[in-house]
Chain A
Amino acid sequence: MAEGKIMVVALLLVIIFLGITAFLFYLEKRIRVSEAKLKKLEEERNTNKER
């Protein structure tokens, strides 16, 4: 009985942890997109300045 309960606790913690890491991967993707947009914007500004 007690063994079964600790299994549930461990499983729940693993699920919570995986949820946090999934959020971190999502955040990383968002940051990558923002970095790419910013790079493009910087390049556009530099081109405009050169003109």
Chain B
Amino acid sequence: MKSITHKWLKIAGVILLVYVIAGGFLFDVPALPVVQQSIRNIYFHVGMWFGMMFILLISLGYSVRFLLYRLPEDDMKALSAVRTGLLFGTLGLLTGMIWAKFTWGAFWVNDPKLNGAAVGMLVYLAYIVLRGSVEEEDKRGRLAAVYNIFAFVLFFVFIMIIPRMAAASIHPGTDGNPALSVGDLAPEMRKVFFPAMAGWFIMAWWLYSLLYRSTRIDHKISELNNN
């Protein structure tokens, strides 16, 4: 029953994103100065970034759970979620860079929000490096779980708090959340934006579950080989 529900959820995610790609490119958008047609990127850039935040929150949850119950599965779930988050974060950065080129004239500008996002991603990359440096499984899990909690907090400090304190960011969303604040999104764009959020969330969860299952298989094989 559970796998049937999961299968339909994945199919729903695929349908939603097909609609988002088609609607994102073909539906009308308001004619705004500077951003012009590039506003269509909001369905992809913001969607991927929110998908990353959602999956990193899952990772945080499993890291806390690992520290409480010490189940290796929770550590594997946290790792898989971070890997998925890094993929979505990289895609979010790339779509953002393309957007920046067409609105600000350069792929990267010296902006607190952009620099914060890059540093935040590096913090999560360090999580992967840290894991690789510890041999013992339980010790690695505990270290990684504690680091993951710090990484989550740091990430949000870098992308949400510091850019707001700097108050000189050209990236939208300094006063609230990009695309979610009142007046940020034209009504005709909402019919694509909200399905995009749902679609990217489902896609992030799907990739995470695939990564987790393959990590668990690897783990079981090495366990069988050791016994």
Q: Which residues of A contact B (CB under 8 A)?
A: 6-7, 9-10, 13-14, 17-18, 21, 24-25, 27-28, 31, 34-35, 38, 41-42, 45
B26 touches A6 (CB 8 A): yes
Q: Which residues of B contact A (CB under 8 A)?
A: 10, 14, 17-18, 21-22, 25-26, 206-207, 210, 213-214, 217, 220-221, 224, 227
Assess A10 versus B21: contact at CB under 8 Å? Given A21-B14, A31-B217.
yes
B contact patch SS: helix
- Complex-state Cα separation, A35 to B10, whole angstroms: 20
Assess A31 versus B210: contact at CB under 8 Å? Given A6-B26, A10-B21, A10-B22.
yes
Chain A contacts of B17 at CB under 8 A? 17
Most chain B CB within 10 A, of A7, A14, A41, is at A14
Residue from the list B18, B26, B213, B224 in contact with A35, Cβ < 8 A: B213
Most chain A CB within 10 A, of B21, B25, B214, is at B21
Chain B contacts of A17 at CB under 8 A? 14, 17-18, 21
A34 touches B25 (CB 8 A): no
B220 touches A24 (CB 8 A): no
Assess A13 versus B21: contact at CB under 8 Å? Given A41-B224, A42-B224.
yes
Of all chain A residues, the one with the shortest Cβ separation from B22 is A10
Chain B contacts of A38 at CB under 8 A? 217, 220-221, 224
- Complex-state Cα separation, A21 to B199, whole angstroms: 12
A7 touches B26 (CB 8 A): yes
- Complex-state Cα separation, A25 to B22, whole angstroms: 22
A45 touches B18 (CB 8 A): no
Assess A35 versus B25: contact at CB under 8 Å? Given A18-B18, A21-B14, A45-B227.
no
B18 touches A14 (CB 8 A): yes
Assess A9 versus B25: contact at CB under 8 Å? Given A14-B18, A38-B217.
yes
